[in-house]
Structure 1
């Protein structure tokens, strides 16, 4: 679900809205999302922030699957941290985010499964540090594929247990 050309190394954006616009446009041009995806991301992020206060700061922005035509995940490390509001925090709680996983997933059950996998992965500080230490996009893609693949079995097992 994470094509190598959707993994971006040291992106230079000034804020989360610029990040949302840039990558929503890319996803729309490639036929993955419908017009309005960026606006929906901004509204969802305002109502339900996705900044995670883990070492180095991570965000997992996402929105309603009605805007998604084909599933994808954009992975980006940032040249400079960008501010997100903290998930579950007060309005003044912010997180300086260095890594983001932008989700475009249609099906609600699959969306939950992907979120669970990513939340497990980003709690691994070594994984995030490896991502940030990557020298280029290819190295970053290898790190992401290795780590995210590791969580496929873990999440699938947890989903079966909850049935």
Structure 2
């Protein structure tokens, strides 16, 4: 009997998206439909990720890293609503408003999402920290290239090559 090795990658080729939607809810709904079909999330995921975003916004102002970078957001919800441990990159064709994680009254134009799916209750902060580490240690020119990619495959390849797993 062949033992399958447990994939430790935080990325899956079928969990990387580009969206031309123009609102936060529309993007989350579109991505949710695809993640649900692939079995990565549960049926109650969408309402919870939208509700959590209302109370605990996830927009990240990237200007401290570089003024050249677009802002990003890291939407996520509790592990009981997901079936996997993944980072789901989502490239947005149009900037979408998210509230700032640090200053919730401030809205940010966001161009790229790193959605966290995490069914490991201990690991949420860890994955968030890894994303922050990735943003602060990846050369700005490489991040600019990432945030301008328009194909899911190119985004998957970039993240697989450049994201340091803890």
Q: Choose the corresponding residue for 1:31, options 16, 25, 39.
A: 39
Q: Choose the corresponding residue for 2:27, options 19, 22, 26.
A: 19
> In 2, are the aligned partners of 1:130 and 1:143 still within 8 Å (CA)?
no
Distance across 2 between alignment mates of 1:85 and 1:122? 19
- 1:113 Cα deviation from its structure 2 partner: 1.6
Q: Deviations over 1:75-104 (max 9, x none)?
A: 11111111100002142x111111101111
Q: Which moved more, 1:73-82 or 1:121-130?
A: 121-130
Q: Residues 136 and 23 (structure 1 numbering): CA distance in 2 closer, same or farther, change over 3 Å?
A: closer
Q: Choose the corresponding residue for 2:148, options 133, 155, 161.
A: 133
Task: Please name the residue that 1:109 is paired with.
Answer: 122
Q: Choose the corresponding residue for 1:96, options 91, 109, 123.
A: 109
Number of matched pairs: 149
What CA RMSD, in Å, does the superposition of the two structures yield over aligned residues? Answer: 1.6
SS in 1 for 2:103: coil
- 1:135 Cα deviation from its structure 2 partner: 5.2
Q: What TM-score do the two structures reach when normalised by structure 1?
A: 0.83
In structure 2, stretches of 5+ residues that fail to align are 1-9, 63-68
Q: Residues 31 and 90 (structure 1 numbering): CA distance in 2 closer, same or farther, change over 3 Å?
A: closer
Task: Please name the residue that 2:133 is paired with.
Answer: 120
SS in 2 for 1:113: helix
Q: What TM-score do the two structures reach when normalised by structure 2?
A: 0.82
Distance across 1 between alignment mates of 2:153 and 2:21? 20
